[in-house]
Structure 1
Amino acid sequence: MKKSFYLLFTFLVISFSVQAQSKNEKAVAEAVANLRKGMLDGDKDLLDQVTSANLSYGHSNGKLEDKATFIQVLASGENDFVTMDVTDQTIKLLNKNTAIVRHNFSAQTNNGGTPGSTKLGVLLVWQKEQGKWKLVARQAFKLV
């Protein structure tokens, strides 16, 4: 009887922890989708909501931006995404407050009136701040 109780208890604990992880993964995926939408629309408010005050945003050419610069460049249209596709996304929760997201990123751009395209790999670090997932760091790299 005790053995059955312990097995049932263990099963329930594992079920709840797996369910909690799935909820966090889903919340991180939603935050990534909101980041993508904010970048496509140049939506200052949405970008502000999904990024941490401590944001470090790295481009594939080595250029680094803080939160204010990242938002200003997109909201002003200096960097203008016409299309943006994210593929092969993985989400790894390091703990209940930190997640790493990797994906491939392809986009059509119109930066400064000059059409272009890009294909990159991206690493994102997300942290839960006051119950909401915020982008803390992003680094892009050229795909080989």
Structure 2
Amino acid sequence: MKKVTVFILLISFTLVLKAQTNAERKVQILVEKLRLAMISGNRADLETLASKDLSYGHSGGKLEDFAAFVEALASGKSDFVSIDFVKQTLKISGRTALVRHELNAKTNDGGKPNEVHLGVLLVWQKEGKAWKLLGRQAYKLP
């Protein structure tokens, strides 16, 4: 009986780890799609990735909802020339994923070239079968 119980526990643990790894892979792919969509400003991609309940916080304190986030990038008002995410970590907790990274980017907002280096927390939530960006908060790094 003990062997059966141990076997069932081992199988259950293996299945949980496999599901966790699968979810992590899916979120990592979505983070990369978000990076590319922020550079391209592709409205359809941005709308697909983000939740309608999105709260998008900038390092200077400005907050955007779903519509403002999409419009800023799709219109070119917020213009990323390049973006790199470094030192990325990912943690899945149930139907929520927390992603932290440092964002290094070249921008051209209003025709003014600039470089930014920020810390970012992304909150992804599973809506039905799809992961959606629910929250984003950038902060200045020391």
Query: Size of the alignment, in residue pairs?
Result: 142
Q: Supply the AA of the counterpart residue of 2:48.
A: Q
2:59 counterpart SS class: coil
Q: Point out where structure 1 has 5 or more consecutive residues left out of the alignment.
A: none
1:48 counterpart SS class: helix
Counterpart in the other structure of 2:140: 142
CA distance in 1, matches of 2:141, 2:134: 23
Counterpart in the other structure of 2:21: 22
CA distance in 2, matches of 1:24, 1:80: 30
Question: Percentage identity across aligned positions?
Answer: 46
Indicate yes or no: 2:36 matched with 1:37.
yes
Counterpart in the other structure of 1:116: 114
Please, what TM-score do these two structures have when normalized by structure 2? Answer: 0.97
Please, what TM-score do these two structures have when normalized by structure 1? Answer: 0.96
2:102 counterpart SS class: strand
Correspondence list, 1:32-111, <5 A: 32-95=31-94, 97-111=95-109
1:9 deviates by 1.5
CA RMSD of aligned residues (A): 0.8
**Per-residue CA shift, 1:44-85, capped at 9, x if unaligned?**
000000000011100000000111111111111111111100
1:129 to 123, 127, 130: 127
Q: Supply the AA of the counterpart residue of 1:118.
A: V
1:6 deviates by 1.8
Of the structure 1 ranges 66-75 and 3-12, higher mean CA displacement relative to structure 2 is found in 3-12
CA distance in 2, matches of 1:130, 1:46: 18
CA distance in 2, matches of 1:10, 1:98: 25
Moved over 2 A (4+): none
2:137 counterpart SS class: strand
